[in-house]
């Protein structure tokens, strides 16, 4: 079925990971953010990281095993300008076989075509070119698919600008394909810069946007497309920098997965933080797709203002963004719905959320508190709750499929958690969330008869001092962060079972793994009217853990669950919050009006809805990306 399309991070990665012994940056000590922000030092470190990725790929080739010499290794060798004859021969060999993987095929071979312009033999170039005639890649059904598909098609038809329709897989000429690709890419950029990014803050799919935009920046002949690619790449990385805590992209995420949602570091997004900012270790295999950024990374320079946003956690900040959902084909009043996203960032932790509901049918993550740790590898440094929602009709809202097979196939396609009661990934139409700074209230009003009538609260194996207080609060500490979690209905504890892939010849199979008391815990609250309140604070704000607990206990809190959940409380930050499931939240008596939400609003990113213009700011540094005038304007604001 057409739904899923994840791929390949998870598919590529284990194979790659096993092929070579170690990655210098991934397995070594955690990098220390360089204090030197001067251009030459940042640039040298950035290029060295790209070089490391390229070399690791080259080193992964085993001479006696052609299966280890594929598109990633070919691209790496071409980027390093090594062994053109050997690379050409391998290209010819690969092109003799059947091609597959659709747009995931298109962008690597686009990169290889450009990198190999002056290196590949005529036979190798012809073999690749002919594959664009004989192999029909599907366009896909998500924005990330289309970004890859149309960027690749645009660039390849610029590389071969006058070829006839008979020479392309879809029977359209170079000129026709180029015009269609350009039209779509402009349409997509217009959407993203006026009503918000779809598939926002994805832990893996960021690569499927960043890599195509890098390729536009690098290889587009049309200067307009080149600058558009550059501006969109800046836009994506500014958003990544703003939302990452020490190199970990945290929630909310339009799309993530069962692993990344709890081990926040384990994501392709981490590769981009490492590559661009050097403030974390890269994931195994450089995230699988990192190689395809690395091959052209030298053609992009991370703006200093974005670098500073990514690495400076010296000041707390609150950022509010407008994003949008995936397309809803049916059973919805709107084609896309707005997503109101809040991001509160501090040195020790970050709190993020959107308003709840359904963003993407299968992989969204609505809210969390994520804390900083010295080394995030293997650490589950996050806390949240979720309603495990599963619905064929909702799947049909987003996918153009018949109802009955989708859930079953999801599991066999590598998304085992969609229809399990203990799932922690995904949104629910019966969850509403409000965040004020580092307080999150999630309310649930689940109709009777709903599959999985329970709330799952995620309690990491890496929490310490988990204390069930008689006040009803559960206190805990993660890193230098104190946490207070308040379930609004009775609960019990379960072990959160993991997923272990098992050998199978018919799709993805798995078994559940119980790690016992050493594993994560699930707070299970099997009540339809429900809620969760979480507050966070830095350890440094209190004399000790007991003082934090006392402060929380002392705060006024009233709640009721009938007829709908309602919370009235005072937060640690002194805010009077009223949040009812069926009404707009109020802070200090003032109603939150989402209709006034801007595209970006905060100390670092600012854009009006519909403006096509983003101002990226850090201190006195400012970069303005203006898609109306296609200009990038840097300035240093006067003191």
Q: Under the rule (CB under 8 A), what is the footprint of other proteins?
A: 1-2, 4-5, 7-8, 97-98, 100-105, 133-136, 138-142, 145-146, 150, 165-166, 168-172, 180, 183-184, 187, 329-335, 393, 396, 400, 402-405, 409, 412-413, 507
Distance CA 519, CA 536 (A): 23
Residue closer to other proteins by CB (options 149, 491) is: 149
Copy the structure tokens of residue 540: 């440094």
Residue closer to other proteins by CB (options 160, 317) is: 160
Contact of 106 with 149, CB cutoff 8 Å: yes
Q: Measured from the CB of residue 136, what is the shortest distance to other proteins in angstroms?
A: 5
Distance CA 316, CA 356 (A): 24
Copy the structure tokens of residue 440: 């999150």
Q: 3-class DSSP state for residue 457?
A: strand
Q: Measured from the CB of residue 225, what is the shortest distance to other proteins in angstroms?
A: 16
Residue closer to other proteins by CB (options 394, 433) is: 394
Q: Measured from the CB of residue 72, what is the shortest distance to other proteins in angstroms?
A: 14
End-to-end CA distance of the chain: 57
Q: Which residues contact 511 (CB under 8 A, 6 or more apart)?
A: 499, 500, 502
**Nearest alpha carbon to residue 521 among 422, 418, 435, 452:** 422
Residue closer to other proteins by CB (options 327, 609) is: 327
Residue closer to other proteins by CB (options 362, 433) is: 362
Residue closer to other proteins by CB (options 183, 469) is: 183
Q: Measured from the CB of residue 129, what is the shortest distance to other proteins in angstroms?
A: 13
Contact of 242 with 343, CB cutoff 8 Å: yes
Distance CA 587, CA 579 (A): 9
Distance CA 182, CA 190 (A): 12
Handedness of CA 176, 181, 186, 190 (dihedral sign): positive
Residue closer to other proteins by CB (options 328, 380) is: 328
Q: Measured from the CB of residue 215, what is the shortest distance to other proteins in angstroms?
A: 17
**Nearest alpha carbon to residue 205 among 294, 118, 110, 104:** 104
Distance CA 255, CA 390 (A): 16
**How many other CB atoms are there within 10 angstroms of residue 611's CB atom?**
17
Q: Measured from the CB of residue 330, what is the shortest distance to other proteins in angstroms?
A: 4
**Nearest alpha carbon to residue 37 among 621, 603, 637:** 621
Residue closer to other proteins by CB (options 136, 493) is: 136
Residue closer to other proteins by CB (options 337, 555) is: 337
Q: 3-class DSSP state for residue 78?
A: helix
Q: Measured from the CB of residue 504, what is the shortest distance to other proteins in angstroms?
A: 11
Q: Measured from the CB of residue 527, what is the shortest distance to other proteins in angstroms?
A: 29
Q: What's the half-sphere exposure (Cβ side, CA atoms, 13 Å) at 160?
A: 23
Q: Measured from the CB of residue 168, what is the shortest distance to other proteins in angstroms?
A: 7
Distance CA 553, CA 188 (A): 49
Residue with tokens 């006392």: 550
Distance CA 480, CA 206 (A): 29
Residue closer to other proteins by CB (options 54, 395) is: 395
**Which DSSP string do the residues of 224-262 spell out, in sequence order?**
HHHHHHHHHHHHHHHHHHHHEETTEE-S-BSS--TTTTT
**Which DSSP string do the residues of 479-522 spell out, in sequence order?**
TTEEEEEEESS--EEEE--EEEEE--SSS-EEEEE--GGGS-EE
Q: Measured from the CB of residue 278, what is the shortest distance to other proteins in angstroms?
A: 30
How many distinct helices (H) and strands (E) make up the chain?
Answer: 17, 29
Q: Measured from the CB of residue 333, what is the shortest distance to other proteins in angstroms?
A: 6
* 279 alpha-carbon distance from chain centroid: 17
* 286 alpha-carbon distance from chain centroid: 15
Residue closer to other proteins by CB (options 319, 396) is: 396
Q: Measured from the CB of residue 95, what is the shortest distance to other proteins in angstroms?
A: 14
Residue closer to other proteins by CB (options 99, 259) is: 99
Residue closer to other proteins by CB (options 69, 459) is: 69
**How many other CB atoms are there within 10 angstroms of residue 138's CB atom?**
13
Residue closer to other proteins by CB (options 404, 593) is: 404
């Amino acid at each position: 079925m057409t739904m899923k399309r994840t791929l390949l991070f998870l598919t590529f990665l284990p194979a790659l990971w096993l092929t070579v012994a170690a990655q210098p940056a991934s397995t070594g000590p955690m990098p220390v953010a360089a204090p030197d922000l001067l251009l030459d030092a940042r640039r040298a470190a950035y290029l060295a990281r790209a070089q490391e990725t390229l070399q690791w790929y080259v080193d992964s080739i085993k001479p006696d095993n052609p299966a280890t010499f594929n598109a990633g290794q070919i691209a790496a060798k071409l980027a390093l300008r090594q062994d053109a004859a050997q690379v050409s021969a391998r290209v010819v060999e690969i092109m003799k076989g059947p091609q597959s993987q659709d747009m995931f095929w298109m962008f690597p071979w686009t990169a290889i075509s450009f990198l190999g312009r002056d290196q590949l033999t005529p036979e190798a170039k012809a073999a690749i070119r002919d594959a664009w005639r004989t192999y029909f890649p599907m366009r896909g059904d998500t924005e990330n698919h289309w970004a890859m598909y149309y960027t690749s098609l645009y660039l390849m038809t610029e590389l071969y600008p006058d070829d006839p329709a008979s020479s392309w897989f879809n029977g359209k000429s170079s000129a026709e394909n180029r015009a269609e690709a350009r039209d779509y890419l402009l349409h997509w950029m217009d959407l993203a810069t006026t009503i918000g990014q779809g598939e926002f803050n994805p832990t893996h799919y960021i690569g499927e946007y960043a890599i195509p935009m890098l390729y536009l920046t690098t290889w587009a002949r049309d200067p307009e497309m080149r600058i558009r690619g550059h501006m969109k790449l800046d836009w994506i990385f500014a958003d990544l920098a703003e939302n990452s805590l020490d190199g970990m992209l945290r929630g909310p995420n339009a799309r993530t997965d069962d692993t990344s949602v709890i081990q926040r570091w384990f994501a392709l997004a981490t590769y981009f933080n490492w590559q661009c900012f050097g403030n974390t270790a890269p994931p195994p295999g450089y995230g699988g797709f990192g190689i395809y950024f690395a091959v052209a990374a030298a053609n992009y320079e991370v703006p200093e203002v974005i670098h500073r946003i990514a690495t400076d956690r010296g000041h707390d900040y609150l950022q509010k963004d407008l994003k949008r959902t995936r397309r809803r084909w049916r059973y919805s009043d709107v084609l896309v719905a707005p997503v109101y996203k809040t991001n509160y960032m501090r040195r020790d932790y970050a709190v993020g959320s959107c308003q709840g509901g359904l963003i993407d049918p299968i992989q969204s993550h609505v809210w969390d508190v994520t804390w900083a740790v010295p080394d995030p590898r293997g650490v589950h440094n996050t806390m949240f709750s979720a309603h495990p929602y599963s619905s064929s009709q909702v799947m049909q809202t987003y996918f153009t499929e018949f109802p009955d097979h989708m859930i079953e196939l999801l599991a066999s396609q590598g998304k085992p958690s969609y229809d399990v009661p203990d799932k922690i990934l995904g949104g629910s139409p019966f969850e509403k969330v409000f965040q004020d700074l580092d307080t999150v209230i999630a309310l649930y009003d689940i109709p009777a008869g709903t599959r999985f009538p329970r709330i799952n609260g995620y309690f990491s194996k890496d929490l310490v001092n988990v204390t069930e207080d008689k006040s009803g609060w559960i206190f805990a500490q993660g890193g230098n962060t104190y946490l207070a979690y308040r379930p609004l209905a009775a609960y019990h504890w379960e072990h959160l079972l993991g997923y272990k892939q098992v050998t199978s010849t018919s799709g993805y199979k798995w078994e559940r793994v119980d790690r016992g008391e050493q594993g994560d815990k699930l707070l299970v609250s099997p009540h339809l009217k429900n809620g969760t309140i979480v507050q966070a604070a830095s350890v440094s704000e209190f004399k000790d853990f007991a003082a934090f607990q006392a402060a929380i206990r002392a705060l006024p809190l009233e709640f009721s669950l009938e007829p709908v959940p309602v919370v009235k409380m005072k937060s640690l930050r002194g805010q009077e919050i009223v949040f009812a499931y069926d009404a707009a939240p109020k802070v200090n008596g003032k109603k939150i009006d989402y209709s006034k939400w801007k595209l970006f609003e905060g100390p670092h990113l600012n854009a009006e809805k519909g403006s096509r213009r983003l101002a990226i700011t850090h201190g006195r540094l400012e970069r303005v990306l203006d898609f109306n005038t296609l200009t990038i304007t840097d300035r240093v604001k006067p003191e």
